[in-house]
Structure 1
Amino acid sequence: MNKFYDVTYSPFRAFKRNEWRKLEEHPMFPISDIDLTKLQALNEPLTLNEIEDIYIPMISLLQIHITHYRNLHNELDQFFENKSKQIPYIIGVAGSVAAGKSTTARVLQKLLSLTPGNPKVELITTDGFLYPNEELERRGILNKKGFPESYDAKKLLAFLSGVKSGRDDLEVPVYSHLYYDIIKDKVYSFSRPDILIVEGINVLQVSTSKKVRRRVFVSDFFDFSIYVDASEKNLRQWYLERFKKLQQTAFSNPESYFHQYASYPEDKLMEFANQVWDEINLPNLEQNILPTRFRANLILEKSECHFVRGVRIRKI
């Protein structure tokens, strides 16, 4: 076999959990003081061991990248003999529904904010850039919420362009999981951060369709990207478990979009949840999300217990 096509070659360096954790065995801050309940999402377990073994080495790695980013900015200022604003460092977090992106993003936000200098770290999700349900219904794609075509890509790209242009005042639309819709005329406003984390299922997706004229993509604005990976079997199981948990919590609220399912018997509830997975989440995973996995700089490979078993890092 021609050595240039040898499948043993990979653009990633692979680490097993025990190898990864040894890269940083001395936490730079007291993680025992962190309130884990404020970081973990529904049905996504999080332990101090997970933070020590997985996230502390990841933060050290990110600090290397961020430091080089800041140094390059300063060197360019010297080259151009012009003092300019520091532009936010953007980290993208991608992965399937139920993979644990929200927990990963929140842990990163907390830990990065505790690094030297206490940088300002903001976190947004792309949910706020979904079209309102009324618009999705008009387009006939309400049942494709979460697919690339269900997002207002122009608005999201304009926001990211503003971030990378150094705009001081920023705002994003607010999405309500309770109402399953964008809250009209409500925005989340914040000033220019040092680091921005953008979490969403399709943030690494690019279109190969000839019908799409857009040649700028969300990931073009990322300085570092992370993909939270798991098998389809585990993702389905986690989704079903979360659905059952939601029935006991959010669905019980009369104002919830899914309140009608609060009284469903378990067998009927699981039948419906499996149908949603098979008709919406699985096709989106296979067609749009999973193909973007190897576009990430770092891949977190999860085991069936939701904990990371391995890490892949793109070679430089």
Structure 2
Amino acid sequence: MNGTYSPYITFTEKEWSKLRSVTPFPLTKEEVENFRGINDKLSVREVSNIYLPLSRLLNLYVKASQMLFKGTHDFLGKQGSKVPYIIGIAGSVGVGKSTTARVIQALLSRWPEHPRVDLVTTDGFLYPKHVLEEKGLMHRKGFPESYDTKYLIDFLTAVKSGDPHVNAPLYSHVLYDRVPDEYTHISQPDILILEGINVLQQMQNFETPQLSVSDFFDFSIYVDADESDIFRWYVERFKIFCQTSFQNPDSYFHRYASLSEEEATNIATNIWKDINQKNLHENILPTRYRADLILRKGQDHGVEKIRMKQL
């Protein structure tokens, strides 16, 4: 562990793995394989050494939050609707946030104190494609201004208020758009995981103070890696998409289906430099140290270092 003064305690994989204590491994090899994203290298070892101790830590936090909720309502002498514990997961495009979110969801749902764990991505809160086109924001998709932030804040307000009937809009990566009139129904889960690239960003309008998405988080995680590695993973994933999902005639990116490997590499590189790299530097990376925990990945896509904010 790092001995210098820092708001974070730093662990190597070996040090962190010991913190799982006697927590049993609840997943099968097949389940772990199903959690992998495109071009991800998730292994049973990584789930056991990294994510299982993390689930134990989060279990402690959730139980403490549940006790505080009950104690507060006993103090006030009133009954209250169950309020979900909300976990935010942030990080760059292509870094593996979705895989991390799925693994954490699966592990947390195995704990008896909080079996109902829902997962929502912020993709569904992007403005519909026709709105982005009207606003001239298609080239800025994924930047903060491309999200219907009011819609997202209203959603989180309802969830955190204990509303038993809340809908989260669905997003299709094939259509590259929100799916009209289709939703994920959220009904007072024990835990809600919200995953998205900009979820840790704060509102910048100081003249009119507003709530930020992160104000609703009880715990936040940032998935981190060297930019050169993220760029390489992004290009590799794009080339895989060219041979798989882009082959679908309904895909928004079907025009890339017949690219040569060299052409795919060049286009992915340009998209990265023109959009994703700018978004990373301007909006995503500056929020890294707002997270309660940082998962730092190495060149092989596996987590090799963990930074946990001290209480």
Q: TM-score, normalised by structure 2?
A: 0.96
Q: AA paired with 1:242?
A: R
The one of 219, 224, 229 aligned to 1:224: 219
Q: AA paired with 1:63?
A: N
Q: AA paired with 2:278?
A: P
Q: Which residue of 2 aligns with 1:4?
A: none
Contact 1:27 1:52 (C-alpha < 8 Å) held by counterparts:
no
Runs of 4+ in structure 1 over 6 Å off: none
Distance, in Å, in 2 between the alignment partners of 1:159 and 1:207 is 17
Distance, in Å, in 2 between the alignment partners of 1:78 and 1:26 is 34
The one of 200, 204, 229 aligned to 2:200: 204
Contact 1:29 1:114 (C-alpha < 8 Å) held by counterparts:
no
The one of 270, 273, 280 aligned to 2:275: 280
Q: Which residue of 1 aligns with 2:132?
A: 136
Listed one character per residue, the Cα deviations across residues 227-271 of structure 1 (whole Å, up to 9, x for unaligned) are 000011000000001001101110000110000110011111111
Listed one character per residue, the Cα deviations across residues 90-120 of structure 1 (whole Å, up to 9, x for unaligned) are 0000000011000000001100010124520
Contact 2:29 2:44 (C-alpha < 8 Å) held by counterparts:
no
Q: AA paired with 1:298?
A: L
Contact 1:157 1:217 (C-alpha < 8 Å) held by counterparts:
yes
Distance, in Å, in 1 between the alignment partners of 2:30 and 2:162 is 31
Q: AA paired with 1:265?
A: S
Q: Which residue of 1 aligns with 2:250?
A: 255
2:83 is equivalent to residue 87 of structure 1: yes
Q: Which residue of 2 aligns with 1:103?
A: 99
1:290-305 equivalences under 5 Å are 290-305=285-300
In structure 2, the CA distance between the partners of 1:256 and 1:304, relative to structure 1 (3 Å rule), is same
Contact 1:41 1:102 (C-alpha < 8 Å) held by counterparts:
yes
The one of 19, 37, 57 aligned to 1:23: 19
2:231 is equivalent to residue 243 of structure 1: no
Alpha-carbon shift at residue 196 of structure 1 (Å): 0.2
Contact 2:87 2:220 (C-alpha < 8 Å) held by counterparts:
yes
In the alignment, structure 1 segments of 5+ residues that lack a partner are: 1-6
Listed one character per residue, the Cα deviations across residues 31-84 of structure 1 (whole Å, up to 9, x for unaligned) are 336612321111112111001100111011101111110110111122112222
SS in 1 for 2:175: coil
In the alignment, structure 2 segments of 5+ residues that lack a partner are: none
Distance, in Å, in 2 between the alignment partners of 1:64 and 1:34 is 27
What percentage of residue pairs aligned between the two structures are identical?
48
2:151 is equivalent to residue 155 of structure 1: yes
Contact 2:203 2:211 (C-alpha < 8 Å) held by counterparts:
no
Listed one character per residue, the Cα deviations across residues 165-213 of structure 1 (whole Å, up to 9, x for unaligned) are 10001111111100111112222223221100000000001133557x3
Contact 2:23 2:56 (C-alpha < 8 Å) held by counterparts:
no
Distance, in Å, in 2 between the alignment partners of 1:117 and 1:8 is 36
Listed one character per residue, the Cα deviations across residues 247-296 of structure 1 (whole Å, up to 9, x for unaligned) are 11100001100001100111111111000000000000000000000000
Q: Which residue of 1 aligns with 2:109?
A: 113
SS in 1 for 2:82: coil
The count of residues paired between Structure 1 and Structure 2 equals 309
Distance, in Å, in 1 between the alignment partners of 2:150 and 2:283 is 19
Q: Which residue of 2 aligns with 1:174?
A: 170
Q: Which residue of 1 aligns with 2:44?
A: 48
Contact 1:128 1:175 (C-alpha < 8 Å) held by counterparts:
yes
Q: AA paired with 1:179?
A: L
* RMSD (Å) for aligned C-alpha atoms: 1.5
Distance, in Å, in 1 between the alignment partners of 2:281 and 2:289 is 14
